[in-house]
Structure 1
Amino acid sequence: MSAVSFRERPVPPGFAAGAPVPWWVKFGVKLAIGTLPVPARAWRALGLRRHSFSASEARRLVPPLAKAVARATTLMGRAPRSVLEIGPGAMVRRAPIAAALGLGPILYLDVEDDAPQDLAPYRMAAEAARAAGLTPPDLSGCATREDVLAACGARLLLGGPELLAALPAGSVDLVFSEVVLEHVRREAMVPLLAALRRVTAPDGVGLHGVDFHDHLGGALRQLGFSPDFWESRAVDRAALYNNRLGLSEMLELFARAGFTAEAPHRLVWEEPPLPPRGVHPALRRRAEDNRICHAELEARPG
């Protein structure tokens, strides 16, 4: 991948601000919830630990996948076929759309099973594909989620990057993720990227949207905590964790794994919204990374 200039856009007012509740209140509630022995799926069903977007929003269905396929086609000089989505969560529902876009085999890798069991979300996705002029698989004979995935040529892999060892080297054209990489624990980033490098086709591409802001208020409050606290089980159980890697650090990890990686599209702050006491010194953050709110990464085998 040749060096390209990048495009910066200002962060919109109120971006990712969340509920109009003081940040420390939201933080405390999350920590308290994390101490209770309730599965994450149950909390999300109650709307208390849901993802930052609704998986049923029409704009989350066809457009992101269609955009990824179009970008991959431009970069590769051919249409991608095999695809691996990292951390799809409830977005496994888009399997009929991925199939309608000509992708297959379709692989989903996630640490927990948050894919819908009910068939209605998959049928909704198939209707969205038809509305966009695509031809999804026929789901009329499907009785279970497994039937739907089979009809779409899709598989859900539950676990960590070690599961990718079963895939042939160089067998994946497109690796795709939406605001997932920032939630991978720091110690897991190297094995994940190494596994992705092994399975990515020589002319393949990885497209990753990464949020660098905290997920309670859209600022950088998470940077004020010590590593001992932030890397603890309490933060993880509360679904507050992000790895606090800056964009430059993220790109360096891709490079070490054998990718050439760039971030051509970025949302930036004019003045970084840092915590009141500043960045914890143990993080050794680069000042330029504190301007980056969100970035779109493109990674290809080096």
Structure 2
Amino acid sequence: MQVPAHPVEHPAPPAYAAGAPVPWWLKLGVKLVLGALPVPAGAWRALGLRRHSFFAADPARLVAPLAGRAQRFADLAGRPPRGVLEVGPGAMVLRAPVAAALGFGPVWYLDVEDSAPRDLAPYRAAAEAARAAGLVPPDLSGCASRAEILAACGARLLVGGAEALAAVPDGSVDLVFSEVALEHVRRDDLAPLLQALRRVTAPGGLGQHAVDFHDHLGGRLRHLAFTPEFWEGRAVARAGLYCNRLGLSQMLAAFAAAGFRAEADSRLVWRLPPVPTGGAHSALGRAPEDDRICHATIEARPG
């Protein structure tokens, strides 16, 4: 795979990832208080909070991104991908009919919790979006459950961490991808996950991972000021605020340690690093140049 001599950098818009126009500390406090309440995560999502997959209802997001990933693999390998794995899909499991229409198969989805729709309408809407794009999705008319729809699409949802990938045979996945999911993997869990991805990735396989590096409450990099003891604790996890605070160079090093050759050839950068007063906590071990990068697309191939 040919990679550019210099990564392509795009300036981040001034209000990029700003979030709601509410003081950051207020948002943080509210999230921590709500997270302490004995309410299941699914109930918060039903109320419109802690939602994943914000574009799941957008027909334009159902076909084109998957088709683009398939084309990228085909450009490199000279053939379309077969086995495909998405990490952290959330509600985007509903794209299973699109994946089948593109010729993917088998298809695996790995997530730490089951937040895929159980209602059948979103899957049928995705099939219609594929049909409107000139593809031939599987016939879902006889399916009476989500399990039957996934089976008709040659897809399977795996719930858990890296250990759940034991269900995927060695070297069986041509294309692995994630969309702003890896930053939410806990620091101690990232290495086992990437090692598992290396095991299942086929020779000549491709990983495509979009990763956010900013605070997810709109604080830019304010979250870097907290101690590891607080940030890795239960309060942040319960509040749905957790991201692992790794910089791009640390993320690429983790891929390399797992046996991948990884490049971030497309990056979104801030003109000036928005570091908190006093800088990032020293225990994070971040490289200063990482503080410019708020988003990057990583491509990884077996080393």
Give TM-score scaled by structure 2 length: 0.97
| C-alpha contact 1:86 1:175 (8 A) present in aligned 2 | yes
2: CA distance between counterparts of 1:36 and 1:166?
35
- Which residue number corresponds to residue 113 of structure 1? 114
Does 2:48 correspond to 1:47?
yes
- Between stretches 213-222 and 148-157, larger displacement belongs to 213-222
1:155 and 2:151 matched: no
1:119 maps to a residue whose letter is L
Q: For each residue in 1:26-61, what CA deviation from the matched residue of structure 2 results, as whole angstroms up to 9, or x when unmatched?
A: 111111111111111110110121137232122321
Contact 2:215-2:221 at 8 Å conserved across structures: yes
Task: Give 5+ residue unaligned stretches, structure 1.
Answer: none
CA contact (8 A) 1:76 1:205 kept: no
Q: 1:52 to 1:85 in 2, by over 3 A?
A: closer
Equivalent residues in 2 for 1:83-98, closer than 5 Å: 83-98=84-99
C-alpha distance in 2 between matches for 1:149 and 1:72: 23
Provide the alpha-carbon RMSD of the alignment. 1.2
Which amino acid is the alignment partner of residue 102 of structure 2?
L
Q: Quick one: distance in 2 between partners of 1:226 and 1:239?
A: 17
Q: Residues 1-302 of structure 1 correspond to what in structure 2 (within 5 A)?
A: 1-5=1-5, 6-51=7-52, 53-217=54-218, 219-302=220-303
Deviation at 1:248, TM superposition (A): 0.4
8 Å CA contact 1:107, 1:156 repeated in 2: yes
- The 1:61/1:218 distance shift into structure 2, 3 A limit, reads farther
Distance 2:67 2:274 in 1: 33
Moved >4 Å (runs of 4+): none
Q: Deviations over 1:201-256 (max 9, x none)?
A: 01101100000011110611111111111110110111100000000000011001
Q: Say which SS state the counterpart of residue 107 (structure 1) adopts.
A: strand
Structure 2 portions without partners, runs of 5+: none
Cα 1:65–1:17, aligned 2, differ >3 Å: closer, same or farther? same
CA distance in 2, matches of 1:136, 1:289: 42
State the Cα distance separating 1:166 from its structure 2 match.
2.9
Q: Percent identity?
A: 70
Shift in CA distance, 52/226, structure 1 to aligned 2, threshold 3 Å: farther
Give TM-score, length-normalised by structure 1. Answer: 0.97
Distance 1:104 1:125, change over 3 A: same
Worse overlay, 86-95 or 60-69:
60-69
Partners of 1:269 and 1:242 in 2: how far apart?
A: 19
